[in-house]
Amino acid sequence: MIAILRRLFLTLWGLTLLAAPIALPEPGARAAAQADEPHTIVGSFATTNPIYPLIGAEFGAILYDLAGEINRDYGFVPAPESQVIGVVQGTISRGTYTLALPDAPTATWLDFDGDPHTPAVQVYTTGLYINYLGDERINRGETLFTASVTFQPLSQDIAGGYVVVWSAEEGALFPAGPGSDGAAFTADDPLMPLPAGWSIVNLDERPYRIIREPVVEIPIVESLGALNDYSALTYRAAWEQFFARVRETYPFAAEKEVDWDAIYNEITPLVGLATSDLTFHLLITRFGELLADTHVGYASVPILQNLLIGGVGISGLVMTDDGELVVTGVGRGSPAAQAGIQVGDILTSIDGIPAARALDETPLLLSSASTPHGRAFFQAMTLLQGRIGSSVTLRWESPDGEREATLTRVPDASALLTALGLAGSSGRVVEGRVLDSGLGYIRVRSFAQEVSAAAGLFASALEDLIAAGVPGVIIDVRSNSGGIPQLAMAMAGHFFTDYERVIDLYYADGKGDFQYRGFIEILVSEPHYAGPVAVLVDPLTGSAGDVFVYAMRFHNRAIVVGHTPTGGFTGEVSDGQYLLPGALTVQVPTGRPTDPLTGATVLEGVGVAPDVRVPLTRETVLSPEDEVLQAAEAALLALIAAQP
């Protein structure tokens, strides 16, 4: 499934708190730490989100200033000097950590009683973060992905866990428990005095319990973004829970005019009749197809084994603007090759059904599709796939005239591998070179691979092109189906001189509405490049790839070139990971990207249209040259020539 189409970090979006950050002078030397005062934190962690192990990330443990989350300040960046880096043992999925508490902490002061004349406190969480912007600390655009505080999944109120609190003086007031609203750190919380120095506060007990021991064990708990595991339930029970959560959290129901009752009434009776994993999984793919969203993806072993790994050796099919289904790849010695099918032939029918209609009727078994061009892309990928040993009758036009043959499917996934950009792919996630035209070229395969190295690789590639004196740069994000949008924004930031908000994010609030939970912005990066830029796109350019292209169109900074618009799938999916019976993994978006000024939904179902569209003709899709790259070179060189 196209699973890595998302922001991977769980932003600790924080809570509604009226405690104000205040500026206080550095405390003077305090008395020696008391014997029972904490000085070391140890703990364990485990994550279930299936994306984390796949992205090639360097991660760490940190003592993190919680003021931004407490005050719902989505632009908050903890000061570097307030961050304390710990020692981690294990993998990103499971391990332990140790943190030493500093003698003179420097986080944000918070005054919970509203009286500026009484002592304030600093509040921290321990947590895990992924380093993808070049150093060991959390920078602008980075955040935790799991923490020692737990969050209510929909309201995102702090619900429990542990906080680490510093008080410079005896008697500073701190919440003693949640008030009537049931949320921590809100205005109705009762207060209690704290001892001077470090304290650990257990938010799961009532009243909150202060822990004063030299070494305190604090688990880091995955609350936001955890895998929603319904795999042990019956088909019907799993469907009911899955459907209910998706109905509440899916962010594009209004835009796509989703009729939840009609969907439920269609699928539910069939789920009740399901007697095999294959049947149940196919019903879930039907559910996804009704949402029309490429970010609704699936990974099903029964579907792969029964319906997708049998093929006839045709590794590529493209529907042209004229409605011709052109063969663009044929495996040597394959059933198709033995029948005489060649690259350039035009399929006219499949099992007696006209090719265009057969394509349109092909079910979406790997993911749903947000756009018509995305739908056609995924359908062409699986059109001829089926059970190994099954047969398919093809009619096609060749230079020798019209021909027909019945072919038997053999083990063959070349169509899937080719379409997804996996056939023959190699090299680093970011690579650059100078083209024969003298223009610079940077290929970015993904924003979800080598994530801790990618920003540095991009900066290095761009620096080499600048040193070479290239007059323009082409950035190729074809087949880049996304990943971490902030990583994409760091790469975009090389072409801008100011930070700029690109999209706002809205999530279900548990009360039938969607609330603002943060934003994505261009992250200014070095080296800066001021010359002309072109960006290459295709239907698989999506998610963070979509956002990258969208940002590069700000102020007409780049020319977009492609056969089609980008994929137009941009829902945020970190909290929409599911495991259903039969080991079916599913993802469904939970976050909606909007225009920061108008509030309108952006990108989803539309994508970014190319400024220079290369027609999809039999000639262009069969050309031995990269027609899209050549069009971008011509457009940039013309732009450069027109400059005064």
Q: What is the pLDDT of residues 228-274, one digit of tens each?
A: 999 999 999 999 999 999 999 999 999 999 999 999 999 999 999 99
The CATH number that applies at residue 594 is 3.90.226.10
Nearest to 199, CA basis, from 265, 123, 255: 123
Q: Could you give phi then psi for residue 527, rounded to 5 degrees?
A: -75, 155
Q: Are residues 348 and 467 in the same domain?
A: no
The residues, ordered by sequence, that sit 6+ positions from 22 with a Cβ below 8 Å of its Cβ are 109, 110, 111, 116, 120
> Which range marks the domain in which residue 622 is found?
430-642
Q: Is residue 572 part of a domain?
A: yes
Identify the band that residue 11 occupies on the pLDDT scale cut at 50, 70 and 90: very low
Return d(Cα 589, Cα 162) in angstroms, integer: 29
What proportions of the chain, in percent to the nearest 5, are helix, strand and coil? 25, 30, 45
- Answer whether 0.85 is exceeded by the pTM: yes
What residue type is assigned to position 533 of the chain? V
Domain boundary among 183, 217, 251: 217
Q: Could you give phi then psi for residue 235, rounded to 5 degrees?
A: -55, -45
- Residue range 585-592: average pLDDT? 98
Q: Are residues 402 and 482 in the same domain?
A: no
Q: Is residue 273 part of a domain?
A: no
Burial of 352 (0-12, 13-18, 19+ CB in 10 A): exposed
| SS3 track for 566-624 | CCCCCCECCCCEEEECCCEEEECCCEEEECCCCCCECCCCCCCCCCEECCCCHHHHHCC
Q: Is residue 235 part of a domain?
A: no
pLDDT of residue 271: 98
Any idea what the Cα angle at residue 296 is, between residues 293 and 300, rounded to 5°?
140
Q: Are residues 462 and 315 in the same domain?
A: no
The residues, ordered by sequence, that sit 6+ positions from 324 with a Cβ below 8 Å of its Cβ are 346, 618
Q: Are residues 508 and 483 in the same domain?
A: yes
Domain boundary among 217, 242, 257: 217
Q: Are residues 391 and 445 in the same domain?
A: no
Q: Are residues 528 and 594 in the same domain?
A: yes
- Residue range 335-348: average pLDDT? 98
User: Which of the pair, 422 or 560, is modelled with greater confidence?
Assistant: 560
Identify the band that residue 320 occupies on the pLDDT scale cut at 50, 70 and 90: very high
Interhelix angle for 235-249 vs 277-291, to 10°? 20
Q: Are residues 447 and 377 in the same domain?
A: no
Q: Is residue 72 part of a domain?
A: yes
Asked whether the predicted pLDDT for residue 19 surpasses 80, the reply is no
The residues, ordered by sequence, that sit 6+ positions from 561 with a Cβ below 8 Å of its Cβ are 534, 535, 536, 537, 610, 611, 612, 613, 614, 628, 631, 632, 635
Asked whether the predicted pLDDT for residue 22 surpasses 90, the reply is no
What is the percent of the chain where pLDDT is above 70?
Answer: 95
Which helix (H) or strand (E) covers residue 100, if one does?
strand 94-100
pLDDT of residue 421: 83
Domain boundary among 398, 419, 440: 419
Q: Is residue 226 part of a domain?
A: no
Q: Could you give phi then psi for residue 172, rounded to 5 degrees?
A: -60, 140
Q: Is residue 54 part of a domain?
A: yes
The CATH number that applies at residue 321 is 2.30.42.10
Q: Is residue 55 part of a domain?
A: yes
Nearest to 154, CA basis, from 241, 74, 245, 228: 245
Q: Are residues 538 and 624 in the same domain?
A: yes
Q: Which two tokens stand for residue 53?
A: 């192990």
Q: Which residues pair with 503 in a beta bridge?
A: 520
Q: Is residue 460 part of a domain?
A: yes
- Counting the structural domains of the chain, the total is 3
Q: Are residues 120 and 212 in the same domain?
A: yes
Return d(Cα 200, Cα 187) in angstroms, integer: 21
Q: Are residues 502 and 535 in the same domain?
A: yes
Q: Are residues 441 and 381 in the same domain?
A: no
Q: Are residues 114 and 48 in the same domain?
A: yes
Place of tokens 């993806």: 297
